[in-house]
Amino acid sequence: MPEPTKKDETETQSAPPPPEQKTPQDGGTGKDKVWSIGEGAPEESEKRDDSQMSTLFIEKPQSGSVSVGGNITFIAKVEAKDLLRKPNVKWFKGKWMDLASKAGKHLQLKESFERHTKIHTFEMHIIKAKENFAGNYRCEVSYKDKFDSCSFDLEVTESSQAAQSIDIRSAFKRSGEGQEDAGELDFSGLLKRREIKQQEEEPEVDVWELLKNANPSEYEKIAFQYGITDLRGMLKRLKRMRREVKKSAAFAKGLDPAYQVDKGGKVRFMVELADPTVELKWYKNGQEIRPSAKYIFEHKGNQRILFINNCTMADDARYYVTAGDEKCSTELFVRDPPILVTKSLEDTSTYVGERVELSCEVSEENANVKWFRNGVELSDDPHSRYRIKVEGKKHTLIIEEAAKNDNATYSVMTTGGQSEAKLSVDLRPLKISLALEDQTVRLGQEIHLKCEISENVEGKWYKNGQLVEASDRVKLYHKGRIHRFVIASSAVDDEGEYMFVPDAYNINIPCKVHVVDPPKLHLDGLGENNTVTVVAGSKLRLEIPITGEPTPKVVWSRGDKGITDSGRIRAETYPDSSCLVIDAAEREDSGPFRITLKNEAGEDTALINIKVVDVPDPPQAPNVTEVGEDWCVMTWEPPANDGGSPILGYFIERKKKQSSRWMRLNFELIKETTFEPKKMIEGVAYEVRVFAVNAIGISKPSMPSKSFVPLAVTSPPTLLAVDGVTDTSVTMKWRPPDHIGAAGLDGYVVEYCFEGNGFSQGISTDLSEELLEPPFHVEADEWIVANPELTDKTKFTINGLPTGSKILVRVKAVNAAGESEPRYHPQPILVKEVIEPPKIRLPRHLKQTYTRRVGETVNLVIPFQGRPRAKVSWEKNGSPIDKNHINIRNTENDTIIFIRKAERCHSGEYDMKVEVENLVDKATIDIQIVDRPGPPEIVIIDDVWGENVNLSWKPPKDDGNAAITGYTIQKADKKSMEWFTVMEHYHRTSATINELIIGNEYYFRVFAENMCGLSEDATMTKESALIAKDGKVYKYPVYNDFDFTERPMFTQPLVNTFAVAGYNATLNCSVRGNPKPKITWLKNKVIIMNDPRYRMFSNQGVCTLEIRKPSPYDGGTYTCRAVNTLGEAEVECKLEVKGGLSFFRLLMDGVPPHIIDSYMREVQADKTEGK
């Protein structure tokens, strides 16, 4: 079977379905059923209600009727808009018969997909319908979890034509037209136990009549056309079959004249005896047949049956059966499968002279195939212009050089089918390889027209529709496929439309020729380099003469932008000139303007430079490179644009930053770009600006410079002294300069030098003396800077010094004006560490017992001092510490004792000892690790009276290494044994339980409590207490209400605090009082109100004042005041903000100088007081 071809719509065709056979038990006398599909169950169709709305179908197949032998098609459509892949569709007949396995000659299933509408179409074609095709059908479609089905009926009406005789042609055909059911399996036929059909419908054409009436030369053609492979055997056998058969007395019913079966099939011979006792024998070509697996004999009453299984071509023979002296014969024909055309011919179009190949493929190799042209058979004669080529299953008809008369319909025919195609042979079209091109030539130049076509043919030239002949002036050339037209010297009359027309073709190749004169610009009246100068603000009108034929088109442009005939800058064009007009010229108008002339002859272009002169641009903002006490040095860059005229000089102006009045500093132009303003006030911020001047005028002022302040250096630092010495370092300290000045103080530079020549000469012995000059001569390059970056602190350590060396140290103060005079240390300093006695600085919280709970972390840091190389040792209760449980880490300045998870065994006295040579310092730390206590030892009911019970108990043996802080007592009714707490945090070891319910019986239990919490277990009374119904009435004592009122009192005062400028700071204290006191915060005795820089909190008596990003202004004395009806209380502290701004920074921020001086004096006083 040929594979389906892929087209725009996909078509699928399956193999023929197996036929259904009918046995005598089912009524063998009825019509033979060539293809039985079964009957549909009525109850199945009733179950499905087609009236319901379909979930997948957009068009369902409808019921229909067809006559026997007719064709009918059923169509179902499914929309694929919401489907990701093709849905699954099945066709059924009746309840269960899937028609996909029955597709073939009588049934074809097709499917297609329309891409534009996105609709799947499924078709079921029934071809040459038979009566048994009638019944109920069903179409089912499914996609994932969606399902839809539709039932429909087919009615087959009888045809008036019926044939009961034997199809003679089918006995000799090798196609599927004769007795197609023999030897095939049909599942429904096996279920119904039907027998093989032995009769077929009467053929439409009587081959025997054709042969009898035809010319003997046409026998072979008729045999091929109707699939007869053994013509001689057919004639011989038919001659034998036409003999008159005598009536037999032994056989009530004899064999049929002939049987046919497909190769590999099964055939059944049956005779009916008049006398069942007669011996019967079967023969094949005269040889007796014996029972075997291939030959099976069967007796049914008077019937004698022979079955031949798995028929081969060797079984194609004459068979007869003998009964006594009589015999009955028949012919068995075994047919091969038909030769099918698996790949059809295709319509072909070609040109005269091309090679043509028409190909097809058949189902078997080297099969007998015949070719036809318009119904006339083609022979494979060597002299024929048609050649047939066979390659296995592929058959090709070849025409070497196609001619016009080869237009025809060509067909191929096999025993099982045929195919045809149309061949179209046309003339080869003429192609223009090179077309004529339009030309524009200058007067007197050559006109050369050239074209190329695909064929070598003659042609004619035309001008304006008139034929052009060759002459002395006009030359015509033809070489191969190229045609040329040449005029050596063009004239005005040569302008027109030219055309070349090839002979024998209805085609022309046109072009146009123009004869023109190029344009020209006349720039004689312009200056050098075509430059035109204009003063800014005036009007320019520039006229340029032009020539050219035809009149050229004038285009003015500037850069990539064209100039139109309107606007401030515009172009005006006249027949013999063009004008460029600029109204109120501006500096931006300077630059090249391009004028371009164009016509068919060419173009001319020129650049005209327009120069607009103006005042210069303002210079950039000047830079102040150096400042002094009342002067500065300023520099600037010349303006980027001098206005088209050289710069003649500059004017300088200055003003105070807080002022808006500028003052000119020079009245004569300054040629240079640097200037030194003088006579300024120290500490006042100034700004300067510059004007540029050229021949046109004065520019706008530059942007002001950055503000600057004339400043002087500070006085030297004071009180330079040694703070500490080690083997490799010296620490110096000093006090700020006495006079800082308006520039403030940025930091200090520390320098030192080593012992050298003259070191000991003239050294002062008075350590209190402060030196401004070195005590000996030292070269400037011998001083070493100890701190590459300025330090704002008044203490610095010089590291990396050799042990035993002597150094001299000096310190300089630095501000924006530069470095001050140095302050020298009066004596050389010996670099050698001084022994410092050891001293342990035990933290305050470690001077008392240090308590932690079991499981908590112990991490204690104990600082100490002592040099050099202090040695630290630890003991616990007089014994060395086990370092496997307790970690000790020592540094030069402190020691750390660390316990990750504390246990009660870690409790004890820890002795710390610090040794420096022979000097020792000791300290003791008492660490207490506590845990929850054990339960009390015993709980006893001492007495029961009325609704009361008196209990007593003994303290627990294990107090958890902490004092017992109380007890918790619970009671439980004996019936429910649910415990309820009656007392908590009770300190005594006896208690009276009141308000018990009369008639109930109670148990009691007691928990012990320490600082870690309640004991895990409780001790319960062994006996219960019964509250009797009769008893004395207990009179409750009367207590007076406790007076909780209290005047405010601070339980935690404020502490003096240091804050870092720019980082939030908080002040905290705690207060108590009843009624709740009102909290008020004050700064320097002034109430703080509605200031966004302060936030105040009060929670559970804890008062907090948060100062957001403090500055030095926020330093001072802060007071917290608590007031209620009983009185008031106050606490105060001092806040110092470090890292404040310098005088110069405050001045640059615009703070008035008198406020800055007041602030600096206050800061200095606070520092002096703090020291």
Task: Read off the pLDDT of each residue in 689-711 and give the average, rounded to a whole number.
Answer: 91
Residue from 543, 544, 520, 530 nearest 598 by CA:
520
Q: Which residue has the higher pLDDT, 537 or 887?
A: 887
**Region label for 602, one of left (φ > 0), alpha (ψ between -120 and 50) or beta (otherwise):** left
> pLDDT tens digit string along 1073-1085?
999 999 999 999 9
DSSP-derived secondary structure for 741-798: -TT---EEEEEEEE--TTTTTT----TT--BSS-SS---GGG-EES-SS-B-SSEEEE
pLDDT at 1146: 65
User: Residues of the chain with pLDDT > 70: what percent?
Assistant: 83
Residues 6+ apart with CB under 8 A from 937: 953, 954, 955, 956, 957, 1019
Lowest mean pLDDT: which of 305-309, 441-445, 1108-1112?
Answer: 441-445
The CA distance from 868 to 186, in Å, is 115
Give the phi and the psi of residue 212 in degrees, each rounded to 5.
-70, -35
DSSP single-letter state for residue 406: G
302: its two tokens: 């008077």
Q: Of 45-49, 57-61, 68-72, where does mean pLDDT reach its minimum? A: 45-49
Both tokens of 1100, joined, read 């559970």
Does residue 761 or residue 341 have the better pLDDT? 341
Structure confidence at residue 26 (pLDDT): 36
Which of 144-148, 623-627, 967-971 is modeled with the greatest confidence? 967-971
Task: Average the pLDDT over each of 231-240, 677-686, 1045-1054 and give the range with the smallest value.
Answer: 231-240
What would the two tokens of residue 741 be? 């000045």
What is 1052-1064 written as a DSSP string? E----EEEETTS-
pLDDT of 914 reads 92
pLDDT-based confidence at residue 9 (cuts at 50, 70, 90): very low
Name the average pLDDT for the chain. 81
Asked if residue 257 has a cis previous peptide bond (ω within 30° of 0), the answer is: no
Q: What is the pLDDT of residues 379-397, one digit of tens each?
A: 877 788 888 888 888 999 9
Half-sphere exposure of 1014 (CA within 13 A, CB side): 15
- The secondary structure of the chain in percent helix, strand, coil, rounded to multiples of 5, reads 10, 45, 45
What pTM does this model have?
Answer: 0.30
Mean pLDDT of the region 469-476:
90
Q: Which parts of 683-741 are beta strand (E)?
A: 686-694, 718-725, 730-735
State the average pLDDT over residues 1141-1164: 67
The stretch 372-376 carries a mean pLDDT of 88
pLDDT at residue 28, as a whole number: 35
> Can you give the pLDDT at residue 1062?
81
CB 91 within 8 A of CB 99: yes
Q: Which of 726, 745, 737 is nearest to 772 (CA)?
A: 737
What is the dihedral angle through the alpha carbons of 93, 96, 101, 102, rounded to the nearest 10 degrees? -30
Cβ atoms within 10 Å, residue 930: 21
- Rounded CA gap, 141 and 96, in Å? 15
* Spatial distance between the Cα atoms of 781 and 308, rounded to a whole number of angstroms: 131
